[in-house]
Amino acid sequence: MTDALTLTNLTKVFKTPAVNGLNLSVRQGELYALLGPNGAGKTTTLRMVAGLLKPDSGSIRVFGIDALADPIGAKRIIAWAPDEPMLYDRLTPMEYLEFVAGLWNVEPKAARERAESLLKLLGLWESRSQRCEGFSRGMKQKAALAGAFIHEPRLLILDEPLTGLDAAVARQVKDLLQSRVQAGATVILTTHILEVAERMADRIGIIQNGRLLAEGTLDELRKLGGARQETLEDVFLDLTSAGDAVTA
């Protein structure tokens, strides 16, 4: 079966290499957590996959589509949700979804049905006609997520989706993500909350200095570190401090 995402020798250099020959594969229907310390290259990687940044070299294949040769084709099946919600303050959630559905050319009847269902699912139905400018951060994040789901993407890319959310909203978002994975979608997310990755992810990748340090299920990662690795935090800190030592 074709992988949902394959990155081969992906490189992006700003002043220093942000992503440095990254090789990564994400299987279809899995929830993949990409972890790494600040500045590891997570966001740069995801922005390249979403078509927002052009890599200096390497390739990106999304469900077999060469995302660099056919960016429009790849974007049709991708959704990108950054930590800062991509919203318009003066639009209502319903109008926002109308706009996003138009951008992805979703059939109007299906778009309206999905919009209603997503807004109800995320607890925004009552606020559907209020402008987003008065929303809390959690409400904004939920409206943006509804926008990411409106075209039923096969690959969802989320950069720190739980940042700044309270426990109840975070639970709603996690439930939504898991329901999408169960429905067959593939999810890649970055997070600094290691418990989220520990509980939700099928596989975890740890990157540092733009390179993949380790990858696997939680058990596989634990084995990498030996007997004293109890939690993902232990494994993460052990691997990234070793990575630092190598860099130094």
Partner 1 sequence: MMGAPGSAPWLLGWELRLAWRGLVAKRAGRGFAAWASFVVFAAIMLALGVPLGRFLSEIDAVDSPPFVVVTAAGAAMVFLLMLSQALAAAADTLYERGDLDLLFSSPVSPRKALAVKFLSVALNLFLSFGAFAGAMLVSAAFIAGFRWLGAIGLMAAIALAATGAGLVLAIGLFRIIGPRKTRTAAQIASALIGAAIFVAIQARMILGGGHGGPWRELWAAAAAGRLHPPAFAALPLRAMQGDLAALSALLGGAIVIYLGASLWLGERFVGDAAAAKGADVVTRPSRDEDVRFTAGAFAALVRKELRLLLRDAALLSQVFLRILYLIPVAILLTRAARQGEAVAIPGAAAGVVFLAGQVAGSLAWITISAEEAPDLLAAAPTRASTIMRGKLTAALTPLAVLMVGPLALVTFMWPRVGFVTTLGAAAAAASSSLINIWHQKPGRRGEFRTRRGSTWYAMWAEASVCGLIAMATALGAMGVIWALPPAFMAGGILLLLRRNERQIGEMLRAT
Contact code string over 169-208 relative to partner 1, x by CB under 8 A: ----------------------------------------
Closest CB 228 distance from partner 1, rounded Å: 42
Distance CA 102, CA 116 (A): 16
Give counts: helices (H), strands (E), the chain: 9, 10
3-state secondary structure at position 157: strand
From the list 57-65, 131-139, 185-193, 203-211, the region that binds partner 1 by CB under 8 A is 131-139
Among positions 13, 54, 166, 168, the unique one binding partner 1 when judged by CB under 8 A: 54
Among positions 7, 106, 122, 169, the unique one binding partner 1 when judged by CB under 8 A: 106
Residue whose CB is less far from partner 1, 16 or 105: 105
Chain-centroid distance, C-alpha 130: 27
Closest CB 129 distance from partner 1, rounded Å: 4
Q: What percent of the residues of the chain are helix, what percent strand, and what percent coil, each to the nearest 5?
A: 40, 25, 35
Cβ proximity of 93 and 127 under 8 Å = yes
From the list 19-27, 82-90, 170-178, 225-233, the region that binds partner 1 by CB under 8 A is 82-90
Closest CB 95 distance from partner 1, rounded Å: 6
What are 42's two structure tokens? 């997570």
Site for partner 1 in 32-51 (CB under 8 A): 50-51
Chain-centroid distance, C-alpha 27: 14
3-state secondary structure at position 123: coil
**Residue 58 binds partner 1, judged by CB under 8 A:** no
Among positions 2, 23, 64, 73, the unique one binding partner 1 when judged by CB under 8 A: 73
**Residue 228 binds partner 1, judged by CB under 8 A:** no
Residue 228's identity, in one-letter code, is: R
**C-alpha closest to that of 135 among 83, 81, 88, 82:** 88
Distance CA 146, CA 207 (A): 29
**Residue 161 binds partner 1, judged by CB under 8 A:** no
**Residue 138 binds partner 1, judged by CB under 8 A:** no
Among positions 39, 66, 88, 184, the unique one binding partner 1 when judged by CB under 8 A: 88
Distance CA 126, CA 142 (A): 13
Closest CB 90 distance from partner 1, rounded Å: 4
Cβ proximity of 219 and 226 under 8 Å = no
**Residue 131 binds partner 1, judged by CB under 8 A:** yes
**Residue 102 binds partner 1, judged by CB under 8 A:** yes
From the list 71-79, 161-169, 178-186, 233-241, the region that binds partner 1 by CB under 8 A is 71-79
Among positions 27, 112, 137, 174, the unique one binding partner 1 when judged by CB under 8 A: 112
- The continuous run of DSSP H or E covering 164 comes out as none
Instruction: Give the count of alpha carbons within 13 A of 109, CB side only.
Output: 0
Strand-pair partners of 66: 61
